[in-house]
Structure formats: C-alpha cells, structure tokens
C-alpha cells in the first residue's frame, strides 16, 4: 500500500476490510510505502490490526518520487496550471504526478518487494464487498495468468484530458498508423518501431480492447490499477522497464497528466497474450463512486456480498466492461 501519515485512518480502514474479507485466513505480509517516514502512531496502529502478518514500512527514495532534474520546471508548472484551469482532476497537483510516475515505473523496484513475485495493490479508503474465498494469488499462478483486476473503465475528461491519453498512445504508434497531422505533432519515432522485438502480434493481444479502429487511436479503456493483483516479474521485465524509460524521457508524467492505469494497460496490451489477463468477477470492490458487485446470484450469496449489482459501475457509460465481455 502506498499511503501517507495524514491518510492513516483511510489506510487502516482498507486494511481492516481486506483482512476481514480475505487475509485473516491467509496472513499474507503487508508492505506500506510512503514518500516520508511513517509516524510511530501509523506503524503502531497498523501492527495492532495485523498481529499475525509480517508488516514492513518503507521510505520511497527521493529519486523514485520527485521529478527528475531534466524536467523543465517552467514548462511543467505552465502545463499543470493549464490542466487546473480545465478542471482536469489532480492536474495541478504535483504530488499526484509524482505518484503516477512512481506507480508506473518504480514501485516494483523498492527493496521491500525484492523477495516477492506477486503483489496486491490496496489503496486507502476502499471497500471489499464480498468474502474472497478463493485465493487470487493461487488462481493466477495455477492458471498461467499475469495480471488481474475487477474494474475496467474509460478515462473521462475530468480525470484525464483526452489529448493527454492520445499523446501517450502516440508515443509508441508506428508512423504508418498516424495521419499527417498526428505525425507532425508527435515524435518522429515510436516505441513500436524502435523496439519491435517486444511487441506481440495484435491478434494475440488486447488491441481490440484499447482501440476501436484497429490501433490507430486509443479509446481510453483501461484496467483500474488502484486494484490490481499481478506478477512483479512483468513490471521487472526488460520489455516493461524499457517501455517505461522510453515514456519517462518524454516528460509526459509532468507536462501532461499520464496516469499509471493507462500506462499499465497499454503495456499489458502490447506485451502479453490476452489470456494472461483476468477479470475477477467474484471480488466485490469499491473506490470512490466506482464499484464492482458480482451479478451472478450464486457468487453473490457464496461471498456474502454487501452490494447491489444494479448500482455497480460495470455497465455504465464510463465502463468498458461490455467491450471486455465481447472479447471473451
């Protein structure tokens, strides 16, 4: 969990929820990361909630959190001011930009995670609506999966300016897929052209999930990364680290509003066969107003769920669940 001292009670609420619904039966270890030293109170209260689990607290290195020295601060500040004036959520918040960059390219490099192959990302102030009776780590391992989540959505204008996500996408589009106007406005070389060895044939991937026009543009569908259960080895791979460093050097985490969710999703769509990705329908989950609740009555009853699927996010206008279902 990435969190701050000021978010202690929100963080502990999430811990309690996941422990009650799942981890009290398994006692998997918890790792808490912060860009400042954890307070004694935070550590004491977290350990009190987790008496049977190993609990670790880590400080994020400044070079993994703060913007790199080659970022043009003037350009960054001007871009953030523009995003704020357009009411792009968190667009004017430097800490949010730092967080998105950290979650995109550095969380898996923290020494406290070196010993682990799998992780479950947990955010402060989330809810788990159902008992999680089947171990998702075991399921992913036994079924040769790499990544799992429960919410697929489309980034709306208040969360991300459309031109920002299109610019992110065009950083790795081949020149041949761009119109003349797009080609002039974007980099002359793309990730896919520079690193073809990492790219799978699109018929084997999730290209149809992230693009409505055979890869020419990005439809903004993505996996909601604030809940993800995945293999750390994927993010540690040469393909992904090369991909992240390529994106990072463009400055888009600061000059635009690139979230870690579309970055993760685009990488998964580029580098993995689609059968390696799983949507956990039985894990009821909520973050802010976006939620997933199992529709299947037997799954709902088995998990003793406390949610109404009719109120869920899955088939609303901002969801990409129908698009995902069509690929199955």
Q: State residue 244's pLDDT score.
A: 96
The confidence band for 180, taking pLDDT boundaries of 50, 70 and 90, is very low
Are the C-beta atoms of 289 and 279 separated by less than 8 Å?
no
Q: What is the pLDDT of residue 89?
A: 87
For residue 170, what pLDDT is reported? Answer: 63
CA-CA distance, 250 to 160, in Å (whole number)? 18
pLDDT of residue 182: 44
The reported pLDDT for the residue numbered 292 is 94
pLDDT of residue 186: 44
148 or 291, higher pLDDT: 148
Q: Which pLDDT score, from 0 to 100, does residue 157 have?
A: 46
Q: In what order do the strands lie in the sheet with 277-279?
A: 118-121, 228-231, 147-149, 277-279
CATH 3.90.550.10 describes domain 62-327: yes
pLDDT at 162: 52
Percent of the chain with pLDDT over 70: 90
User: What phi and psi values does residue 23 have, to the nearest 5 degrees?
Assistant: -75, -10
In Å, what is the CA distance from 116 to each residue of 80, 148, 270, 281, 288?
36, 17, 24, 25, 29
Q: What is the Cα–Cα distance from 279 to 287, expressed in whole angstroms?
A: 16
Instruction: Taking residues 58-83, report their average pLDDT.
Output: 96
Residue 222: closest CA among 169, 154, 138: 154
Classified as helix, coil or strand, 116 is: coil
Active site residue 228: yes
Cβ partners under 8 Å of residue 83, min gap 6: 91, 92, 161, 257
- Least confident stretch, 24-33, 108-117, 208-217, 218-227: 208-217
CA distance 95 to 3: 12
Tokens at 310, concatenated:
């009719």
**Residue range 170-176: average pLDDT?**
56
Decide if pLDDT at 273 tops 50.
yes
Enter the pTM of the model.
0.91
For the beta carbon of residue 111, count every other beta carbon within 10 angstroms. 9
Residue 183: band (very low, low, confident or very high) from pLDDT cuts 50, 70, 90: very low
Please tell me which residue in 19, 37, 228, 256 is annotated as part of the active site: 228
**Domains of the chain by residue range:** 1-59, 62-327
């Amino acid at each position: 969990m990435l969190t701050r001292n000021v978010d202690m009670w929100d963080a502990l609420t999430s811990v309690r929820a996941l422990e009650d619904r799942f981890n009290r039966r398994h006692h998997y270890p918890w790792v808490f990361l912060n860009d400042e030293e954890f307070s004694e109170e935070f550590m004491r209260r977290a350990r009190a909630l987790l008496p049977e689990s190993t609990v670790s607290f880590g400080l994020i290195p400044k070079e993994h959190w703060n913007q790199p020295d080659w970022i043009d601060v003037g350009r960054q500040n001007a871009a953030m001011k523009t995003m704020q004036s357009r009411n792009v959520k968190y667009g004017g918040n430097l800490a949010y930009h730092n967080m998105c960059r950290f979650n995109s390219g550095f969380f898996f490099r923290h020494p406290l995670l070196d010993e682990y192959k799998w992780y479950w990302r947990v955010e402060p102030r989330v809810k788990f609506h159902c008992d999680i009776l089947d171990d998702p780590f075991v399921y992913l391992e036994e079924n040769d999966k790499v990544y799992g989540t429960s919410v697929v959505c489309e980034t709306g204008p208040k969360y991300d300016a459309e031109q920002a996500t299109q610019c992110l996408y065009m950083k790795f589009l081949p020149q041949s897929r761009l119109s003349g106007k797009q080609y002039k406005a974007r980099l002359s070389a793309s990730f896919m052209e520079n690193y073809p060895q990492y790219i799978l044939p699109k018929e084997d991937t999730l290209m149809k999930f992230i693009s409505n026009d055979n890869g020419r543009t990005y439809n903004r569908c993505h996996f909601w990364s604030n809940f993800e259960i995945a293999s750390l080895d994927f993010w540690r791979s040469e393909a992904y680290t090369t991909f992240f460093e390529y994106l990072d050097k463009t400055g888009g985490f600061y000059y635009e509003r690139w979230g870690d969710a579309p970055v993760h999703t685009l990488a998964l769509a580029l580098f993995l066969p689609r059968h390696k990705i799983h949507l956990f329908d039985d894990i009821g989950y909520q973050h802010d107003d976006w939620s997933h609740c199992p529709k299947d009555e037997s799954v709902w009853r088995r998990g003793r769920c406390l949610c109404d699927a009719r109120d869920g996010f899955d088939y609303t206008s901002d969801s990409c669940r129908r698009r995902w279902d069509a690929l199955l």
